Structure 1
Amino acid sequence: MHRQQLFAYIQQHYQIEPDYPWKRHSDYAVLRHPRHRKWFALVFPLTRDKLGLPDGPIIDVINIKTRPEQNGSLRQQHGVYPAYHMNKEHWLSLTLEEGLADSEILALLDDSFSLTF
């Protein structure tokens, strides 16, 4: 799944546009609930070594909130990692273009939206 496909899904299902709050990291997109402004996802480019992967091109990652009891089984799947720079008990990092199927990424995104509501 490409970043723009993800944003199109979010716009269609939640009528939310990404927020780019950091000048220094202008390609880091925060996805927030419209009313209380809590994050339900963060999309950003990351060097592969930050996830313990071999060197290669920079990849797009999405951080999502998950149910702690699901994290262990989810982390067993290709493309799912402990959250980069967030609480690793409640958040996971997913690679967007390698790993989980698009439908699985979107289901986890929907769950993150509900969990942060």
Structure 2
Amino acid sequence: MNRQKLINLVKTHTNSFEDYPFNKKNSHEKIIWTAIKQVSNKKIIALIFEKDEKLMINLKLEPQHGELMRSRNGVYPGYHMNKTHWNTITVNKTDVSKSELINMIRESDKLTQ
């Protein structure tokens, strides 16, 4: 999956919009962050980024679910996020299926409403 397909996947399964609030012209940040936000309250549902040539997504999960998912290949505590609630999935290097990823996206959507 590429970055645009992942952005479209999140937007398809949520009532959201794409934003780039962390990518200012004078920023020292090298990572391009795509924030997918709720239309209703502008809270972040997902952060999509590439690091070390790997496509990643940060999603909010219930703590117990996040801990369970971290036992899976390619799922880690949230990069630059609260480690209890946020999880990073290395999209193309994980054994998480597309349907499981969609369920995680929906959970993050629900938790950020």
Aligning the two structures, in what range does the TM-score lie when normalised by the shorter sequence?
A: 0.7 to 0.9
Percent identity, aligned pairs only, is 33
Q: Distance in 1 between matches of 2:84 and 2:20?
A: 25
Deviation per residue, 1:77-112 (Å, 9 max, x gap):
011001111000000000111102222111101110
SS at match of 2:56: strand
Alignment of 1:35 onto 2:30: no
Q: Which has the higher helix share?
A: 1
Counterpart in the other structure of 1:5: 5
**What is the aligned-residue RMSD (CA, Å)?**
1.7
* Structure 1: runs of 5+ lacking an equivalent: 48-57
Within-5 A mapping of 1:1-117: 1-21=1-21, 22-23=23-24, 24=27, 25=29, 27-47=32-52, 58-99=53-94, 100-117=96-113
Task: Give how far 1:12 is off.
Answer: 3.0
Aligned residues: 107
TM-score, with structure 2 as normaliser: 0.84
Q: Distance in 1 between matches of 2:43 and 2:16?
A: 12
* Structure 2: runs of 5+ lacking an equivalent: none
TM-score, with structure 1 as normaliser: 0.81
